[in-house]
Structure 1
Amino acid sequence: MGKMTVYHGSYTTKVVPEIIKGKNTKDFGPGFYCTVIREQAERWAKRYDTPVVNIYTVRMNTSLKILEFKEMTEKWLDFIIACRHGVPHDYDLVIGAMANDQIYNYIADYIDGIITREQFWSLARFKYPTHQINFCSSESLKCLTFVSGEEVVK
């Protein structure tokens, strides 16, 4: 795989990326989340008082353990549910669609038995495309090279 550009939305410039283990569980577990969609990173950054989009180049290390979801599937949904419940995994990188707030509400409704799995898929299919790459290990972070941090206008 060649080089690609990824973006990380933050409140500050992140020259040295780090694994983030927040109190809130994320789609693909703890890690450093990026996307190939700049506009999405800008949306992430605009949650903060000083929004910054960090830009990196990535050269994937093929010896890493990588899980990629090319589309939203049953396996993707089950993986997110497990990660959101704090179940650890051993992947270095996880790549796939993001369960944004609206999609996560559908996931929560499914978990709580309010909607069926079939209803979840009917609702989730019509949301705009999203993308995320979670760098889950210190080895995966070595694939990132910082390019710049750019403040975003709110």
Structure 2
Amino acid sequence: MGKMTVYHGGYTIVKNPKILKGKNTKDFGHGFYCTIIREQAERWAKRYDRPVVSVYTVRMNTGLNILEFREMTNAWLDFIIDCRNGTIHDYDIVIGAMANDQIYNYIADYIDGVITRDQFWSLAKFKYPTHQINFCSTEALKCLDFASAEEVS
């Protein structure tokens, strides 16, 4: 598999990524989140006082347990719901679209029974493309080579 460039938006330069296990659950569970869309990483970074985008070269290890959602499907939705509810998975890397805040509100409404699955899909239209790669294991982090970082405005 060839090389690709990914970006991580945060508040500091991250030369040595780690698996983060925060109190808040995320779309694809615990891990180190990146994207192939630089503008998205900049949006992530701009939530902080010192927005920084770290850049990595990635060569995927095809021997790892990788789950990729090429489209927003029922399987994608169910996986996000499980992860956001604290279910642990055994994937090394998970790739797919991101459930941004607006989409997650629709997911919450679906979980609470306020809307149906069909209504969720009618509402779940992104205004711009999203993408995330979650490096979920120590072995997955070995696929990342730090290239550079810069503060963004």
Length, aligned pairs only? 153
The CA deviation string for residues 79-120 of structure 1, in whole angstroms up to 9 with x for no partner, is: 000000000000000000000000000000100111110000
- Counterparts of 1:108-123 in structure 2, within 5 Å, are 108-123=108-123
SS at match of 2:56: strand
Q: Which letter does structure 2 place at the counterpart of 1:139?
A: E
SS at match of 1:87: coil
SS at match of 2:53: strand
SS at match of 1:64: coil
**Offset of 1:126 from its aligned partner?**
4.5
Q: Which letter does structure 2 place at the counterpart of 1:85?
A: N
Q: Which letter does structure 1 place at the counterpart of 2:80?
A: I
SS at match of 1:106: helix
Structure 2 residues without counterparts, runs of 5 or longer: none
Counterpart in 1 of 2:39?
39
TM-score by structure 2 length?
Answer: 0.99
TM-score by structure 1 length?
Answer: 0.98
The CA deviation string for residues 10-65 of structure 1, in whole angstroms up to 9 with x for no partner, is: 10000000001010000000000000000000000000000000000000001000
Structure 2 Cα separation of the partners of residues 96 and 149 of structure 1: 24
Q: Which letter does structure 1 place at the counterpart of 2:99?
A: A
Superposition RMSD on alpha carbons, in Å?
A: 0.6
Structure 1 residues without counterparts, runs of 5 or longer: none
Counterpart in 1 of 2:18?
18
